[in-house]
């Protein structure tokens, strides 16, 4: 076929492709050009009847025509499909100002609710909320907190360690408490400091009252002239607001934590009602918190003078606080993802804890 004929065929086909107004029209052009009986397909079939010299000349010309037509069809198809999608999206817009037909079914998880309650209560006491990384290094999680190398808390059965880092870098782990947030805050901020540090923590333990991942909140105060009396008043005020009862009774028992001295376990009194323990009164005692005065070595490790600055710290499990307040029996259910459990124990998405309305309202 003469060069002029091929050029005219190319121009005709490309013009037909460009003029195709829709996908159906474009497909008709494709069939006419590249279908089994298409004009380009018929030209390709003639190559078998040509001599080797003719085929060497005509083959590239016909293949070039086929490639140009196929590329033009693909480009035009993409343009038409994009235009069709834009038109569809423009016709399917929703007026978000209209009221929803179905009732809101989303619920707030009890852990999220309790964390909001804690933030509301402590904000009223002048505390800020601090956060930190969940993947920590050995120094922030243990050493800076006066936990020696041989302490049982470092054992593999308690802590999730990462493989050793090359070059002798610090050992990395999943934090076992939110205490590293206290260290990072003391290193980055000048006293006075008043923070709570809620968040996820990790330990290798699992039963009805322990899970490998759980939620913890810790509090820290660093200032001049801080005493154990300030700690007791803060915890008593917090627990009265959290459980929304004025008959909260606390008992501080001497204990031991490497990062506080003196240290105290905090028990809250409870009464028996219909065979269940209810927070309030003093018929029995239940441990809810660990606390103490910040150890001078911890203060010194953060670059502060322990003769000038003192402080107290406390910590408790957010999941257990939720269990005590809202009557849940098994900690593992918090992480099962059972929508029936959440519908029973969950909170309305529109309920925001406030001290005036009651944090558990």
pLDDT tens sequence across 86-145: 888 888 877 777 666 655 567 888 888 899 999 999 999 999 999 999 999 989 999 999
Strand pairing class (213-223; 250-257)? unpaired
Q: Is pLDDT at 313 greater than 90 in this prediction? A: yes
Q: Is pLDDT at 212 greater than 80 in this prediction? A: yes
The pTM is what? 0.66
Model pLDDT for residues 2-59, shown as the tens digit of each residue: 567 777 888 888 888 888 888 888 888 888 888 888 888 888 888 778 888 887 887 8
Q: Is pLDDT at 296 greater than 90 in this prediction? A: yes
Q: Is pLDDT at 242 greater than 70 in this prediction? A: yes
Least confident of 138-147, 173-182, 257-266, 350-359: 350-359
Q: What pLDDT score does 310 carry?
A: 95
Q: Is pLDDT at 258 greater than 70 in this prediction? A: yes
CA neighbor of 131 nearest in space, from 169, 192, 92, 181: 181
Position 62 confidence tier, pLDDT thresholds 50, 70, 90: confident
Options 3.30.930.10, 3.40.50.300, 3.20.20.140, 3.40.630.30; CATH of 108-346: 3.30.930.10
How far apart are alpha carbons 270 and 358 in whole angstroms?
21
Q: What pLDDT score does 230 carry?
A: 95
Q: What pLDDT score does 309 carry?
A: 94
User: What six digits make up the tokens of 184?
Assistant: 């990072």
Decide which of 211 and 288 is more confident.
288
Q: How buried is residue 255: exposed, middle or buried, by Cβ count under 10 Å (0-12/13-18/19+)?
A: middle
Q: What pLDDT score does 182 carry?
A: 95
Domain ranges of the chain: 3-88, 108-346
Q: Is pLDDT at 279 greater than 90 in this prediction? A: no
Average pLDDT, the chain: 86
Once rounded to an integer, what is the mean pLDDT over residues 201-217?
A: 80
Q: What pLDDT score does 270 carry?
A: 87
Q: Is pLDDT at 259 greater than 80 in this prediction? A: yes
How far apart are alpha carbons 13 and 34 in whole angstroms?
11
Q: Is pLDDT at 278 greater than 70 in this prediction? A: yes
Least confident of 62-76, 135-149, 165-179: 165-179
Share of the chain above pLDDT 90, in %: 37
């Amino acid at each position: 076929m003469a060069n002029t004929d091929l050029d005219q065929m190319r121009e005709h086909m490309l013009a037909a492709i460009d003029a195709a107004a829709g996908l159906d029209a474009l497909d008709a052009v494709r069939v006419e050009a590249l279908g089994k009986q298409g004009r380009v397909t018929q030209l390709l079939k003639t190559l078998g009847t040509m001599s080797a010299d003719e085929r060497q000349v005509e083959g590239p010309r016909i293949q070039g025509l086929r490639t140009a037509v196929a590329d033009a069809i693909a480009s035009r198809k993409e343009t038409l499909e994009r235009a069709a999608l834009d038109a569809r999206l423009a016709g399917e817009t929703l007026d978000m100002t209209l009221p929803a037909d179905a009732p809101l079914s989303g619920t707030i998880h009890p852990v999220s609710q309790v964390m909001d309650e804690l933030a509301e209560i402590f904000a009223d006491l002048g505390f800020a909320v601090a956060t930190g990384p969940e993947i920590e290094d050995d120094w922030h999680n243990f050493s800076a907190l006066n936990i020696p190398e041989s302490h049982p808390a470092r054992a593999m059965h308690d802590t999730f360690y990462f493989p050793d880092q090359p070059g002798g870098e610090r050992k990395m782990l999943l934090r076992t408490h939110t205490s590293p947030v206290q260290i990072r805050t003391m290193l980055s901020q000048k006293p006075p400091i008043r923070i709570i540090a809620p968040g996820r923590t990790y330990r290798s333990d699992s039963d009805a009252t322990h899970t490998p991942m759980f939620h913890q909140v810790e509090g820290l105060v660093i200032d001049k002239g801080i005493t154990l009396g300030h700690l007791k008043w803060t915890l008593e005020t917090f627990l009265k607001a959290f459980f929304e009862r004025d008959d909260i009774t606390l008992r501080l028992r001497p204990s031991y934590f490497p990062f506080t001295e003196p240290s105290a376990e905090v028990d809250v009194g409870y009464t028996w009602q219909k065979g269940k323990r209810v927070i309030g009164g003093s018929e029995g005692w239940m441990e809810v918190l660990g606390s103490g005065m910040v150890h001078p070595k911890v203060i010194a490790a953060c670059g502060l003078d322990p003769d000038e600055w003192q402080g107290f710290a406390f910590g408790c499990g957010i999941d257990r606080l939720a269990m005590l307040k809202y009557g849940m029996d098994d900690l593992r259910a918090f992480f099962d993802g059972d929508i029936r459990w959440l519908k029973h124990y969950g909170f309305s998405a529109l309920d925001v804890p406030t001290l005036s309305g009651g944090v558990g309202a």
